[in-house]
Amino acid sequence: MKILRNISYIFLFVALLVLELLLGIFSEFSDLEILPFLILLFYISINKFSNDYIPAFFFSGIYYDLFYTSNYFGSTSAKFLSIGIVINFINKKLDDNLFSEFLVFLLSVSIYKFEFIIFSFSFIQLTIVFLISVINYFLFKLINITLKRDVFKKSI
């Protein structure tokens, strides 16, 4: 049962990764992107952090390296796992408020897009990363609120 659950996590991660890439079609390659996969990584890292998600982190990275990039095999897996561990660690150390959470989200976007920042470092690129963080953090909060809402309690 546990194996089945872990396999379903892998499928969920891969599906969201493909969805994120397909969303690029709608945005017509705009610099401001919606990153559902990163939102999932962030959500798991701060709310559901556990060993159960390690295969999903690992295999989604492997899958991405296989078909969508010229990166060396395993580099994206390491990036996804690093995001998970770094975000969880920092989030635990910081106060639980909106500003700290946004800073952590900004950090996760920076790690996620580190090639984008390092290879073409400029004020414009940093602004784009900040704007991507704002848009996606807003989406993360929306999803977070929706998932946390207890419908049965409210109706009573």
Partner 1 sequence: MFQEPQKRRNYVIYILFIFLSGSIFLADLFSNKKFSDLISDNADFLFPVSQEAIDLFDSLDLNIIKNKNTLINENIRLKNEVIELRKLKLINERLVEEIRSNNELIKNVNLENIIYYKSTILIKNTEDEYLISGGRNINLNKNDLILNEEGFVVAYIVKVFDDHSLMNTIINSEFSIPGIDKYGNQYLVTSNREELLINSIYIEEENLNIDYIFTDVAFDHIGQFPIVKLTNEEVSNANNKISAVVRIDYKFSFDSNIYIVKEK
> Please, what is the minimum distance in Å from the beta carbon of residue 6 to partner 1?
13
Q: Considering beta carbons, is residue 84 or 140 the nearer one to partner 1?
A: 84
Question: Which is nearer to partner 1, 2 or 149 (by Cβ)?
Answer: 2
Cβ–Cβ under 8 Å, residues 116 and 129: yes
Nearer to partner 1, 28 or 150 (CB): 28
Tokens of 100: 């700290």
Write down the least CB distance from residue 86 to partner 1, Å. Answer: 10
Q: Choose between 25 and 151: whose C-beta lies nearer to partner 1.
A: 25
CB of 8: closest distance to partner 1 in angstroms?
17
The 10 Å CB-count burial string (b at 16+, else e) for 34-67 is: bbbbbbbbbebbbeebeeebeebbbbbbbbbbee
Strand runs (DSSP E) across 1-156, as ranges? none
Three-state SS for 146? helix
Query: Which residues bind to partner 1, rule: CB under 8 A?
Result: 18, 20-22, 24-26, 28-29, 49-51, 54, 57-58, 61-75, 77-78, 81-82, 84-85, 89, 92, 112-113, 115-116, 119-120
Helix/strand/coil percent split, the chain, to 5: 80, 0, 20
